[in-house]
Amino acid sequence: MAGVYVHLPFCPYLCPYCDFVKWPHRASAARGYLEALYAEIDGEQPAPADTIFLGGGTPNAYDRGQIVELLVRLRERFRGAGEITIEVNPELVREGDFEAYRNAGVTRLSIGVQSFVSSEIATLGRKHTVDQVATVVGAARDAQIESVSLDLIFAVPGQTASSWQRSLQAAISLGVDHCSAYGLTVEEKTPYAAWRAREPGAFFDDEREGELYAIAIEMLQRAGYQQYEISNFAQPGHRCAHNLNYWANGEYIGLGAGAASYRNGVRSVHTRSFEEYVASARAGQSIPSQSERLEGRRRAGEAVMLALRTAQGVGLSEFKERYGIDVLKDYASVVSRFASTGLLERVGDTVRLTRRGVFLANDVCGAFVTFE
Ligand code: SF4
């Protein structure tokens, strides 16, 4: 198994823009969930893994002893992972956490910062301070965690070009190894969706959002970060192998409520219900899931869409060998439409998004998925 994802869904509070599977932290529910997770891990066939990723939710809502125990069990079942990531909320980091994580095999920290501007942090419903982030990055360095990544969000209501530059500059000045910069997505049925329905003018349109995205690309590249995927930037040697496997359409297993897997051509997603997940996992039953087999044109379209997200793009010979498709021929009309409008380009044995195409990636990628 190339990648193992583990979902830890408890958070100290719930952010109004978020539609992940998550619940407010309660110690007894969190313990019960962990027991269910152990049962699910025990039910898996032992297999080698390249990467393990503890995501959430807020994984460090669990105390470090619980995280270490979880990692011990995961590494017994899925041996050999060279990259182990944990997402952390900077408010919840306690002295000694990172040393314990590192000793348990963690190589990568992904710190949920979102913004370094207090008013934006408040708008996003988050509670950390800017000083806390600097302290946490320093603690990660002291603990000699190999790669430190920050998440930032742009197109936050109230954000300006200059406040966005301040956040980017703060991340760069901290010298983190990796930075993810995501445009805010307003998900249905979240408090943000209700806000936008009441006050649409508070939110960014595509053009203004594109301006902030351009600032991110420019500043991060100037600071030596390579944009290796639409939203991800890394110093040399610090790309996230776990996510690279997703974009390479590699196999992965997802453990926990709402977690997605892709195995043997079948994509499946576990139930988002706490009760259903915990009851079935603890009873040793298969977790209620939705699944679909990706075959033929559909599988190829998804693979093109994922590969186009990366700087490397679609390897033409590789796609022929792996999926039996000739991208230039089989998708000729899509390729020529976007090539003629300057959004796609052919470079050697690859097709990739142009600098302009990166800004319209969703349109270009979507066209490959829906192509009949
Ligand atoms: S954004 Fe992160 S911390 Fe906030 S509710 Fe969602 S999972 Fe929890």
Amino acid at 128: H
Give yes or no for residue 111 CB within 6 A of ligand 1. no
- Residue of 7, 8, 10, 11 to test ligand 1 pocket, by largest number of atoms within 8 Å of CB: 11
User: In this structure, are strands 350-353 and 314-315 parallel, antiparallel, or unpaired?
Assistant: antiparallel
H or E segment at 366? helix 361-370
**CB distance 303 to 249 below 8 Å:** yes
Q: Which two tokens stand for residue 280?
A: 């079935």
The residue whose CA has the least distance to atom 6 of ligand 1 is 18
**CB distance 127 to 112 below 8 Å:** no
Regions in the chain scoring below 70 on pLDDT? 1
DSSP 200-259: GGGS--HHHHHHHHHHHHHHHHHTT-EEEETTEEE-TT---HHHHHHHTT--EEEESTT-
Provide the 10 A C-beta neighbour count for residue 35. Answer: 12
Beta strands in the chain (DSSP E): 3-8, 10-11, 23-24, 47-48, 51-56, 78-79, 83-88, 108-114, 147-154, 178-183, 226-229, 232-234, 252-255, 260-263, 266-270, 289-293, 314-315, 344-347, 350-353
Amino acid at 195: W
- Residue of 15, 115, 127 to test ligand 1 pocket, by largest number of atoms within 8 Å of CB: 15
Give yes or no for residue 11 CB within 6 A of ligand 1. yes
Q: What are phi and psi of 226, to 5 degrees?
A: -95, 130
- Give me ligand 1 centre to Cα 293, in Å: 30
**Rounded Cα distance, 26 and 37, in Å:** 16
**CB distance 257 to 7 below 8 Å:** yes
The residue whose CA has the least distance to atom 4 of ligand 1 is 15
CA atoms within 13 A on the CB side of 68: 12
Give yes or no for residue 20 CB within 6 A of ligand 1. yes
pLDDT of residue 1: 61
pLDDT of residue 298: 84
- Residue of 8, 21, 58, 113 to test ligand 1 pocket, by largest number of atoms within 8 Å of CB: 58
**What are the tens digits of pLDDT across the range 158-210?**
999 999 999 999 999 999 999 999 999 999 999 999 999 999 999 999 999 99
Classify burial at 8, counting beta carbons within 10 Å of its beta carbon; exposed 0-12, middle 13-18, buried 19 or more.
buried
The residue whose CA has the least distance to atom 7 of ligand 1 is 57
pLDDT of residue 160: 98
Q: Which two tokens stand for residue 211?
A: 């301006």
Give yes or no for residue 270 CB within 6 A of ligand 1. no
The residue whose CA has the least distance to atom 5 of ligand 1 is 14
- Give me ligand 1 centre to Cα 144, in Å: 26
Give yes or no for residue 14 CB within 6 A of ligand 1. yes
**Rounded Cα distance, 83 and 52, in Å:** 6
**What are the tens digits of pLDDT across the range 87-107?**
999 999 999 999 999 999 999
**Rounded Cα distance, 109 and 310, in Å:** 21
